[in-house]
Each structure stands twice: as structure tokens, then as C-alpha cells.
Chain A
Amino acid sequence: MTLLSDPRGLSPIRDGIGEPDFGTPKSTSDVTVTLTIDGSPVSVPAGTSIMRAAGESGCSIPKLCATDSLEPFGSCRMCLVEIDGRKGTPASCTTPVEEGMVVRTQTAKLGKLRRNVMELYISDHPLECLTCAANGDCELQDMAGVVGLRDVRYGYEGENHLGAVKDQSNPYFDFDSSKCIVCNRCVRACDQIQGTLALTIEGRGFNSKVSPGGLNFLSSECVSCGACVQACPTGTLEEKSVIELGMPTRTVQTTCAYCGVGCTFNAELRGDELVRMVPAKTGGANEGHSCVKGRFAFGYASHKDRILSPMIREKITDEWTEVSWDEAITYAATKFKEIQAKYGDNSIGGVTSSRCTNEEIFTVQKMIRTAFGNNNVDTCARVCHSPTGFGLSSTFGTSAGTQDFKSVGKSDVILLIGANPTDAHPVFGSRLKRRLRQGAKLIVVDPRKIDLVESAHVKANHHLQLQPGTNVAVINALAHVIATEGLADKNFIAERCDNEAFDRWMKFISLPENSPEVVEAQSGVPAEELRKAARLFATSGNGAIYYGLGVTEHSQGSTMVMGMANLAMATGNIGREGVGVNPLRGQNNVQGSCDMGSFPHELSGYRHVSDDAVREQFETLWDVKLLPEPGMRIPNMLDNAISGEFRGMFVHGEDIAQSDPNTKHVMAALEAMDLVVVQDLFINETAKFAHVFFPGTSFLEKDGTFTNAERRINRVRPVMAPKNGKQEWQIISELATAMGYPMHYDNAAQIMDEIAAITPTFKNVSFELLDRVGSLQWPVNDAAPQGTPIMHVNGFVRGKGLFVETPFVPTEERANRKFPLLLTTGRILSQYNVGAQTRRTANSTWHQEDVLEIHESDAQMRGIVDGQKVAISSRIGETVMRAEVSARVPAGVVYTTFHHPISGANVITTEFSDWATNCPEYKVTAVEIRPADSSQDATNSLDDVLMKA
């Protein structure tokens, strides 16, 4: 077994395969306490447990119920110690160190007590270690050895739980109660780490038994985050993959490729076979936690649907032909060159993928700017967080969130807008819930009653249930209250912000049109609620804003981002822990794709192409002339494809035919092009229109970095060799070379070196440094060699914070007589985006299809009953889904997810978009719902479009 090297150079106490476990959480105290443990002096922060102090000093105390991700519990009684001057044998996990304390961890008395406790454990435990899946990874087994248990004098005929029935209902792990030692670690993990509180102990005394409540794990409230499996010291909760394949034999630390949280995982393998993904406690973003996607849903990487050979075809109606890499690359290069020769340099372009590594993205945009010779590069961030970049750079000076995730642990009031973290960013959601359970206040701004509005031990103080499309009105109303009730942080504003802009903003925001009373009519949120929420935010201490696509995917997305920035500045909530404005990024590398120069107007590090000095640096480095004018955005490319000016496109790991709005329009554009090159794992919807297919690499094969929503650059390490034979940056380099621009890298580290050399915010980043410190939050430069967890600490990046007037301009997309309901979209926990990965895993157990949530009154009015198929039509298109009558949405609003291509949610979304960035207005579509005539409609919707397109 490979143990990760411990930076402290200490012998690790094993926890699973990789990381040391010191039994109790680290103390954050600044005060140092010195005590004597087994004769040696030990100095630790005050508040440290004796157990941890001993562990850190290299003398480990036996333990079973303690693990350093959980608060001490004191139940197993293995860790008893003797303390001079104290009666009895206190548990070392629950006893904090004291100055001058003299502790003995190994005495004859303690040895006997521990052995006797272990004897009790084993008297009710199956003796099948040799055939147990946890053999070799079982703390009970280890401890039995440590305490020297030789005999169980009670015999095995007494009362026991050996006959307990296994619960195998969860697709990813089994629960074998007969092996349970009732240490409560799973229950505590579910409470303290995940915050779902799905597990409990049933019965008492000898009959105590871990229970998911209800029938079994699958039917319980369990969200399969894996925290319980991770916490279990025995084989009671065990991954099915371990049961099937056996214990892993090696570990590679890497980064999850799902959402923008960017969790660090230890990929545990047997040879080249991935057995399990275990969240790493050293992970900066996740600190040992995970969700059902990252923890378990990696099976897609080896799914039979994956394409591993390059393929080409003349026409999209032809069958694919498998060809060699050389042939495919030459074919694509020749075709691109032919198009350019015929229609001009500007007739081709490409899209980078937020699913890919920084190094891959950097090479794609470099290929476009050099080999393609234009700036027609865009990224899928266009359709999610482009307004974030625009709004935050305008006001603060940086196109990124201001905090690290840990910061939420210091927040006193949290304003959550258009985000649903417990589904879409679960590991952050758990952090947030932990803080809420500690007493932080929560204000939710969302048309839908998300879980955080009310769930186990969490209740929002205010749910501002606004009409879709009225974000700006609501944020203005909140700011209006703060401005007009004298709640603004005058000192902060005077010192840190552009005062002229502030004065203008004050005049604007104080206008009656921004008052809660006026906004009530626009948004449907009661004025009094708006006032109370504003006061709560302004007066509760550290106020933090977290937001998601419910902010950006609107015609006023950019305005709303600026509105939130205004609110944060007005209340002085910028530049320290616990505050800030923080986007929750949808994809693993949205931040990175933006940083890497994927936008048509910007080079890496958000520098405009028109900046001669910047361009010159690139031109010198790349030995090529760059265009000083912005290139086309995705919608421009598609529009121009339809009009015939744009004829060739390189689509890197994005399924624009499914994820972009107005599917019919996208498909028509794709079909109109002479050459569509798609690089992906699977034949996705877009690939159906492609002429060349480059098989991609899964995150398990990639070598590079992802940058998460907190600007954290995490290493992605290859767990196995690329199944397609090549790294993606290699393919891109070869394509660029074939097109006449020689591009070559020996490895991904070289690409990062190039990024660092040319991008000031990445100046000191290198694989070597990342491997040494784990992760870094940019800017990483001479001023901040260890990175920047929190931005704008001593001043805004742009100098003074800029207040921007944000008048509310309602979207053109409005409910009307023909389309009286507003459709808004979101995500569900078990599925991810367009579902290409998660649908190819057992995650579909929880979510087999997208459903339409509809309020009871709207359903009744239309004669729709729960579970019925309904047709959803907008002025753009029509699709069919199953209706779910739900109290989560208010009357007049319907909601769905877009994880399944069959649902074709984007068949009905419109061409409206953010005024500044053209981020599509996914969150507001006027629709009408009616019962579907026949079940046929359900399966036809997308195929119809495909055929007609």
C-alpha cells in the first residue's frame, strides 16, 4: 500500500489507505500548552485533545470511535489514559490538554482495560476477517492486534447481532449491521460533516443499531455523500466496488471533475483499475468531504459508450469511419485550411471546455489564436458565468469570487441568491449547513423553495420567493433599505470605494422606484420581508453573498452581479474572512477556462486583445501576429453559421446542441457548417453533427490543473494511461502543427510554465509548487507566493471599489395570455449538467428522468395530475415531461432540470441573453403546459427536432 508522504515527516496513523488520523480535530488556538506524555514533553495548541497531542508527538493511542474529521465522542473507551493527580482513567479523546499535565498512555492497567474492552467488542463480531472485504482496512482488526487480544472468554454463544440482515439497497455501498461496533462515526459524519442527519441509532443498550430510518438506505433521506462509508472503521459500510474488486493497492491524489467545488480525492486503484475515490482531508476545497457524484459516479470513465478511436466522415448522414490519429488530425487540419482559403481566416473558430484542464484549454485557445489566426474562441462559461466576470471586474477589478470556501465558517449572515448548493454544490452546501447549524442567519432569494429554505436543523430566516426575472429589482430593494435607513458602512465606503461613484449610486438607489414597496409589485416579495432581510444582512456581523446561475442566466445577469457587489461594498462586507461575493461555479473548471483566455476579447489573465503591450508579449512568446480585435462569441458563431459566413468549428468537450438555448437554432447552425470537429468522451448530441470526432480523455487520464470557484488551482493527476492513446493537449498541438503552426510540449508541466510566464496572476504557479503545497489560490505571485485565499484585503484590485447604478429593466420574456407560466431551470444532486457522465452511472437510480414541478393550482386549472405526462410549449418549441405537483414552486412558476437529452429543456428556451455578455436567459421562459395527448410525445420531442433540424 502506498502511503502518502506526510509533510510533517511523522509516521502516519492509518486511516483507510492514505492519510494520518489524529483522532480529534485540530485546535485553532494561538495559545501553546506544554505537557508530558509518556515521559516526553509535547507542545500543542490549547484545546487539543490528549489523543491528538499524543498522535502528533508520534505515540498513538488506540482508538475506534475517534477520527479527526469528527468531534470527539468518547464511546469506545479504547483511548483511556492515566493522568497524574486525577482519579480514574479518562478518555484521551475527550480530555483536553492542560499545562504541566503528566499523561501515561501505556500502563499495565490501561493495557488490561483496553484488552477487556476489545474482548467485549469481539464477543459480538463475526470472526470472518479473512473473507471480509475490509480485511486490511479495518480499524477494529488493527486495534485487536494493537491491544494484544488473544482470547474471547465470553465465547460466541451469547446474545449477538451476527444474524443481522445486510442492506444492499444503495447502488454504491453495502451496510452490514452484523459488523457494526456502534461507534456512531457514520451517524456523526452524517450530522456533522454532511448535515443531512439521515442516520440515527435505533434502540438502546445492547440493541443499539445504526439505522437510516425507514426501510433501508435507498429509501431513506441518505444522499449517498459517502461520509458514513468514509467514517466507518470496520467493514460495516463498505463500497460495493471494494467488495467486488478487493482492497486497492495504490493511491493517486487528484481532483474531481464534476462541479466547481473542486474536491480533492485519493483515487485508489488495483493496477489500472479504479476501485474507489476517497475524499482527501488535505483537499483545500473539501477537507475530506465528498458528494455522490465525485465519490461514486466515476464509472462513466470506463463506460462502454466511450469512443476510443478517432473517426471521420464526409457528411453527417454518413457512417463514421475509424481512422488513425494522424489521419484524423490531417483530415481536420486540411478541411479547416480549405475553409479558410475559400471563406477567409475568420470563417472558423472554436470553443474551449470548462470540463478540461487549464493546460488543455490554454492550448485550444492558443491554437485558435495562432493556427486559426483569429480570436474566434469562446468557452462554455459563456452560457453560465460570463456575467460574473463582467460584473465583478467592473466593480472590484477581478473576474472571480472573493473568498475561499472555508470563509463561510466565519459568516454570520448568508445571502444565497439563485443557487441551490445542497444539490448543485453539495460539499459547499454541507459547509454552509454546518455554519447555519452553528447559528448563522440565512436569506434565500429564489423563486423555488430549495432544500435550504427548510430542512433538517436548517431554516432560512427569510425566503424572498421572487418572480423569475426580478433579481435586480430585489437586490436594489435590499440596497435601498440599507441606503435609506442609514445601515451602510460609511467608514468602509469612505476608505475603500470610489466616493463619487458612491454618491451617484446613493442618489440612484434611494429613488422611490427602488423601494421595497414598489419592488413588491414587480417581484411578488412582500415589502416587509425585503426590509427585514436587508436589515438582517446589514446588522448581523459578517455578511456573505453566494450565488449561482440563478443570478447570471438572465437578461440582466451582469447588472445583478454588479448589484450584489454594490450591496457587499455598501455593507462593508469585502476583504476579510466570512464576507464577500462568491459565485458557485457550475463546472469543475469554469474559473480556469475564463482565466486561460478562452473569451474572444481576452488573453489569459483577463487582458484585452487590444492591449498592445500584452499582445506583444504573447506575439514574442508564440512567434506569431495576433489580432487586436475581439473575435466571435458562441452565439455569433452560430448565427454566422446560419448566414453562411462561419463554416468550421472545433468543439472541445462541450455539448452545445444540448446545453445551449434554442436547440433548433443551434442544430440548424451546426448542420450548416462544412466542418464540425468534436472532441469528447461520447457521441453526444453535438457529435451527431460532426465530421471529425477526436476521442477525449476522462479526468482520470488527464495530467494538468483545474481551477475551482474559489480560484484554487488543483492538480489533476493521471490515474491511468489515456484510453484514447493521447493527452488532449497533445492532440491540439498536433492539430495546430498540422495547420501550419508548430506547437509542441513534452508534458503538461511545460504548458503551465508557459501560462505562468505570460500570466501575472499565475506567475509563481508550477506543478512542482502545486505538488509540494497541494493547491494554490491565484493570484500566486511574488506579492503572494502562497496564493490568495481572500481577495481585496487591503484594497480593491482595481484600486477603489466602484459602485455602479443598476436600474431594473424587466426582460422581454414575459408571461402572457398564450404562455402564462414562467419556466425556470435547475439541477438535482445525483445528476450533473447534461448528464453525459452521471447518466452512465448508477446515479440514475435516484433520477431517471427530468420532471416538471408545477404548483397545485396551476395543475388543477389545466387538469394535470401528479405523474402525468405534459407538453411544455414556449414560443420557440415544445417538449414533453412528467409533471410533479409540488409546493416548491409558487403558482405561476414551473421548474425543471435538464439532465436528460430526451427532456429537451433547451428546445423551448429562447434567444434572450444577458445584455453585456450574451449569457443565455435560461432561467426565464414563458411557457404553457397542457396534458400530453399520448405517451409518444415524450420520446419524440428531441428526435423531432433532430429530424427537422
Chain B
Amino acid sequence: MDVAKLKMMVNQIDQNIPFAGVKSEVIATHLKKFWTPQMRADIFHDVQASPESYSADVREAVTKLHQEANA
């Protein structure tokens, strides 16, 4: 998967997603609902590699999903 595209997608979600409550949780739910496990794994690796490209909410969401998947 083209990580650049995933990055664009997640940042677009970050910018647009409506939320009431904790934003990172809303992002995590969205990714869990619509993204394949592979996409979530790929984005986690990129978040690890270049955290500066992502907002804190995205980082938190992606990391949380990773932890859940590997729990």
C-alpha cells in the first residue's frame, strides 16, 4: 500500500471528522470501521517512523488501534 496515500487519507479524516468527546477515539473508531487491518498496520509504522507528519490525535488513535490488534 502506498503509505503516502494513507497519510493523506488519515490527515484528511483528522481535518474533517466531526466529533463529540475525545477526538482520537472517534478517529480510531472510523479507522477500525473502514480500514483494513493491513492499512492500520501500515499507518502505524509510518506514525512510528515520522510522527511529525501526524497530529497528536491521529498518533494516539493509530497507536491505540495497534495496541488493540496486538493485545
Contact = CB atoms under 8 A, between A and B. Distances in A.
Contacts of B36: 600, 629-632, 636
B50 interface: no
Contacts of B15: 809, 915
Q: Interface residues of B: mostly helix, strand, loop or mixed?
A: helix
B1 A556 contact: no
A633 B34 CA distance: 9
Q: Interface residues of A: mostly helix, strand, loop or mixed?
A: loop
Interface stretch (A142-150, A334-342, A637-645): A637-645
Given A639-B2, A915-B13, A806 B33 contact: no
A393 B37 CA distance: 24
A630 B38 contact: no
A916 B30 contact: yes
A694 B2 CA distance: 31
A346 interface: yes
Contact of B17 (A629, A631, A633, A915): A915
B5 A911 contact: yes
A601 B5 contact: no
Contact of A916 (B2, B5, B13, B38): B13
Contacts of A346: 38
Given A608-B33, A631-B36, A632-B36, A501 B9 contact: no
Interface string B1-36: 110010001001101111010000000001011111
B65 to A, nearest CB: 11
Q: Which of A631, A632, A636 has most chain B Cβ within 10 Å?
A: A636
Contact of B37 (A601, A629, A643, A805): A629
Contacts of A629: 36-37
Contact of B16 (A556, A601, A635): A556
A562 B35 CA distance: 21
Interface residues of B, number: 20
A639 B33 contact: no
A504 interface: yes
Contact of B12 (A501, A608, A915): A915
Given A504-B20, A559-B16, A630-B34, A639 B1 contact: yes
B18 A805 contact: yes
A556 B13 CA distance: 10
A837 interface: no
Interface in A544-568: 555-556, 558-559, 562
Contacts of B30: 916
A280 B32 CA distance: 46
Interface in A643-696: 643, 645
Contacts of B35: 630
- Which size class do A's interface residues fall under? 35 or more
B43 to A, nearest CB: 12
A804 interface: yes
A906 interface: no
Interface in B36-54: 36-39
Contacts of A643: 1-2
A916 to B, nearest CB: 7
A666 to B, nearest CB: 14
Contacts of A556: 16
A24 interface: no
Nearest to A638: B2
A636 B39 contact: yes
Contacts of A230: none
Given A601-B33, A639-B2, A915-B13, A562 B18 contact: yes
Given A629-B36, A806-B18, A555 B12 contact: yes
B20 A501 contact: yes
Contacts of B1: 636, 639-640, 643, 645
A639 B37 contact: no
Contacts of B13: 915-916
A559 B19 CA distance: 12
A911 B20 CA distance: 30
A379 to B, nearest CB: 14
A600 B36 CA distance: 9
Interface string A56-93: 00000000000000000000000000000000000000
Contacts of B20: 500-501, 504
A365 interface: no
Interface in A529-550: none
A582 interface: no
A707 interface: no
Contacts of B37: 629
Interface in A897-949: 911, 915-918
Nearest to A472: B16
Nearest to B69: A629
A192 B36 CA distance: 52
B18 to A, nearest CB: 5
B36 to A, nearest CB: 6
A486 to B, nearest CB: 25
A676 B45 CA distance: 31
Given A629-B37, A916-B30, A804 B18 contact: yes
Contacts of A600: 36
A555 B9 CA distance: 10
A497 to B, nearest CB: 14
Nearest to B13: A915
Interface string A601-616: 1000000101000000
Contacts of A639: 1-2, 5
A562 B18 CA distance: 10
Nearest to A917: B34
Contacts of A915: 9, 12-13, 15-17
A696 B32 CA distance: 36
Interface string A502-516: 001000000000000
Contacts of A630: 33-36
A504 B15 CA distance: 18
B2 A642 contact: yes
A411 B28 CA distance: 41
A41 B35 CA distance: 68
Contacts of A916: 13, 16-17, 30, 34
Nearest to A918: B9
A916 B29 CA distance: 12
A286 to B, nearest CB: 36
Nearest to A635: B5
Contacts of A917: 34
Interface string A763-791: 00000000000000000000000000000
A420 B30 CA distance: 32
Nearest to B31: A630
A645 B1 CA distance: 8
Given A601-B34, A632-B36, A809 B16 contact: yes
Contacts of B34: 601, 630, 633, 916-917
Contacts of B12: 555, 915
A639 B33 CA distance: 20
Contacts of A555: 12, 16
Q: Which of B1, B5, B35, B36 has most chain A Cβ within 10 Å?
A: B36
A175 B65 CA distance: 68
Contacts of B38: 346, 645
25 contacts: A346-B38, A500-B20, A501-B20, A555-B12, A556-B16, A600-B36, A601-B34, A610-B33, A629-B37, A630-B33, A632-B36, A636-B36, A639-B1, A639-B2, A642-B2, A643-B1, A643-B2, A645-B38, A805-B18, A809-B15, A809-B16, A915-B17, A916-B13, A916-B16, A917-B34
Interface of A: 346, 500-501, 504, 555-556, 558-559, 562, 600-601, 608, 610, 629-633, 635-636, 639-640, 642-643, 645, 804-807, 809, 911, 915-918
Interface of B: 1-2, 5, 9, 12-13, 15-18, 20, 30, 32-39
Given A630-B33, A645-B38, 9 more contacts: A556-B16, A558-B16, A559-B18, A601-B34, A629-B37, A636-B36, A639-B5, A804-B18, A916-B16
Which are the 3 A-B pairs with shortest beta-carbon distances?
A915-B16, A915-B12, A804-B18
